[in-house]
Amino acid sequence: MSVTTDTTPSAPARGMNALGALSEHLVRVLEKNGADISQLGVPPQPEPSDGLWEDVSVPQARARRNMWRNSIVDAAHDEYLAFRFDHLDDNQKPNTLRNWLDSLIEAKKLDARPGTLNMIVPGPIGSGKTAAACTLGNEAAERGLWTLFVKHATYLTWRRPDSAPHNMKAWEVRKKFVECDLLVLDELCGEMDMTATEFARRETVDLIDARISAGRPTVYTTNLRSRRQPGSPAMGVVDILGERLLSRLESSAHLVKVVGPDRRAPAKPLDW
């Protein structure tokens, strides 16, 4: 005689399963919103071994760190990922960078607009501007800010149809670089001159203006002066962005000049 086992859960069992799923969901929602669940008698949720999860707070923080790392890898600046404030020298103003980051973290906690919204890091080629800016980004990502890095010229390229990486659309490129908590925009106007296309000018103004209007902080590194010096043929950033936008950018900004010799120059000049 054959015996058939009914594996269909009974109504009470189905109810308990549903209740357990609901409880787990509520715990994750509470954790995501920063609630202390230690007093609820609920065992802590396990940290996932890998992957980009969005359901719980720990994986979300990991996802943000990975997004920062990926943006650095896309820019071929992997060597900067290990940098921290303690690795910088006095010319790169580590204490100023640290204090500004502290103010951004405090503003984020209060859901407030930072008192000093932007940081402008000018300096000659090879002086260590990008290393300092990437170090700030490393520290910010570790502290939970959604931080991204992109070279200005790269952003303009990615905004053109079918030019963005990772199968992204042009509108997705703008969205993520406008909406991230902190953006490091490297080499501002570095490959632009007085003949810059209307597209390049429009996209640059749009990105900067959108971030300022939303109260989202940005770090700008640049080899250019803000304005043309008397008697010098070298143009300034104002020649590309215009006086109105440059004035607006400067009105709420730290100016951190990075000076010193070219760190990338060989110790002994090469004979070509």
**pLDDT tens for each residue of the chain, 272 residues long:** 433 334 344 444 444 444 444 444 554 554 445 554 445 554 444 444 444 334 446 677 788 899 999 999 999 999 999 999 999 999 999 999 999 999 999 999 899 999 999 999 999 888 899 999 999 999 999 998 999 999 999 999 999 999 999 999 999 999 999 999 999 999 998 877 655 788 988 999 999 999 999 999 999 999 888 887 776 667 788 887 888 888 888 888 999 999 877 776 666 666 66
Name the token pair of 157. 């390229």
- pLDDT score recorded for residue 9: 43
Buried b (16+ CB within 10 A) or exposed e, 88-102: beebbbbebbeebbe
Quick one: what percent of the chain has pLDDT higher than 90? 53
Query: Could you tell me which residues come within 8 angstroms of residue 137 by beta carbon, excluding any fewer than 6 positions away?
Result: 68, 72, 147, 149, 182, 184, 219
State the pairing for strand pair 147-151/118-122.
Answer: unpaired
In angstroms, rounded to a whole number, what is the distance separating the alpha carbons of residues 225 and 245?
15
Q: What pLDDT shows up at residue 42?
A: 44
Domain 77-255 part of CATH 3.40.50.300: yes
Kindly state the tokens that stand for 161: 């149809």
Give the Cα separation of 82 and 194 in Å (integer).
37
CB atoms closer than 10 angstroms to residue 133:
25
Task: Please state, in angstroms and as integers, the Cα–Cα distance from residue 68 to each residue in 75, 131, 172, following that order.
Answer: 11, 15, 16
Look at residue 8 in the predicted model and tell me its pLDDT.
Answer: 43
Q: What's the mean per-residue pLDDT of the chain?
A: 80
Residues 153 and 191: beta-carbon distance below 8 Å:
yes
Each residue's pLDDT tens digit, 81-116? 999 999 999 999 999 999 999 999 999 989 999 999
Where do the structural domains in the chain lie, given as residue ranges?
Answer: 77-255
**C-beta of residue 235 within 8 angstroms of C-beta of residue 152:** no
pTM of the model: 0.76
Tokens 């896309």 correspond to what residue? 74
Q: What is the C-alpha separation between 178 and 211, in angstroms, rounded?
A: 6
pLDDT of residue 80: 97
What pLDDT, on the 0 to 100 scale, is given for residue 203?
94
